[in-house]
Amino acid sequence: MSNVPANTVNESSSSNQPEDNIREAKGMGWLLPLLLLVLGAGLVLYFIKSSNSSPLPVAEQFIVGIDTSANKKALTRSDSSPFTIELPNDSQIVASRNGIELHLVEYLNNRKDTLNKNRWFNFDSLSFENNNTTLTTSSMHQIENIVSILRAYPKMKIKIGAFTDKTNDEVADLKLTGQQANEVAVALKKAGADPAQIVSAEGYGSKYAKASLNASQEERMKDRKISINVAEK
């Protein structure tokens, strides 16, 4: 029969408890990083889902027409391959994938994109004869496309604006661009546009030209353009 006091056994067994707790803590050490990893992955998935479901701002949903030359040759476009655009009156037009027609139709279909008197959509397939005031035959396809768009959107009203660069006399440029804007308006009406949908045609000369006199010809050509502003849609 052992004479070891009972309290000695109790002290011995209780002295092992801290070691057991340490071993348990070490064994559970992997759990916290795993929980953090799962939480982080969940947050990433949440933000990805949120960004995909929320619409882009209106300004990013719509691409404003690119400046092109109204005189002589239009600038080279990145994608001029033709395709068919469906219009709301069940008609169709064939146009460039990056031309004024598509930009206009997308704008008209987007109710969130409001009217703006400073927003112009630039023709990309217009050119003039050597006199700089008579439209070439090759321009008629785009003229007819715009007429089709006007018919498909009968509430639409437009302004025609003609612009040029700073290389010539300002007074002469105002007269020239006025003649060009009027030429386009007349061509639209002759092609069947409702005159009530064309509220004005105005030449602005070099008033809004961005390129300096010393700029390259390519930069100055961007200031030579015939454009449409949507007054009502």
Distance CA 231, CA 47 (A): 39
Distance CA 73, CA 78 (A): 15
What is residue 104's three-state secondary structure?
helix
- Please report the pLDDT score of residue 139 as a whole number: 96
Where do we find the tokens 């027609």? 101
- Please report the pLDDT score of residue 158 as a whole number: 98
Strand partners, 184: none
Tell me how many degrees the CA angle 85-88-182 measures, rounded to the nearest 5: 75
- Please report the pLDDT score of residue 134 as a whole number: 95
Q: Where are the domains of the chain?
A: 6-53, 58-232
Going residue by residue through the chain, which has 233 residues, state the pLDDT in tens, using 9 for 90 and above: 444 444 443 443 444 555 555 455 455 555 656 666 666 666 545 444 433 333 322 222 222 333 333 333 333 344 567 889 999 999 999 999 889 999 999 999 999 999 999 999 999 999 999 888 999 999 999 999 999 999 999 999 999 999 999 988 999 999 999 999 999 999 999 999 999 999 999 999 999 999 998 899 888 888 999 999 999 99
- Please report the pLDDT score of residue 103 as a whole number: 94
Q: What top-level class would CATH report for the domain 58-232? A: alpha beta
- Name every residue whose Cβ is closer than 8 Å to that of residue 163 and which is 6 or more positions away in sequence: 70, 177, 203, 204, 205, 206, 207, 208, 209, 223, 224, 225, 226, 227
